[in-house]
């Protein structure tokens, strides 16, 4: 038993293993991610939990979940920021659940208010 190496490398799967008692356990490390997942990341995680639990499980086990959610939050925030920027003289209105851009000097503006 003393002839076993403390650390080994398996070329087939590219993993390092450490001897723990009688077994070799893989040396797994999660990637370090320091970005917050934010509102949209949390919403998407809940969506994955309810609708796509297998996808959530895969992302969690591969250590990609936090990065995935942080990227998604950044993309959603950029789109939201872009949607809020309108050309000068434009105004965003809501009617029947849809957003409508109308000119502030146009006659149709009063019809939507």
Q: Tens digit of pLDDT for each residue in 30-87?
A: 778 889 999 999 999 999 999 999 999 999 888 899 999 999 999 999 988 887 776 6
pTM of the model: 0.55
In three-state secondary structure terms, 94 is strand
Nearest Cα to 44, choosing from 59, 29, 62, 63? 59
């Amino acid at each position: 038993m003393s002839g076993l190496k403390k650390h080994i490398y398996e070329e087939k799967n590219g993993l390092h293993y450490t001897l723990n008692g009688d077994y070799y356990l893989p040396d797994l490390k999660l990637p370090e991610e320091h970005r917050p997942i934010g509102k949209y990341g949390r919403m998407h995680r809940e969506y994955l939990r309810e609708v796509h639990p297998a996808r959530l499980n895969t992302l969690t086990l591969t250590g990609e979940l936090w990065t995935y959610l942080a990227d998604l939050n950044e993309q959603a925030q950029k789109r939201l920021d872009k949607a809020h920027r309108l050309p000068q003289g434009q105004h965003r209105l809501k009617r029947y659940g849809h957003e409508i851009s109308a000119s502030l000097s146009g006659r149709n503006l009063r019809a939507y208010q």
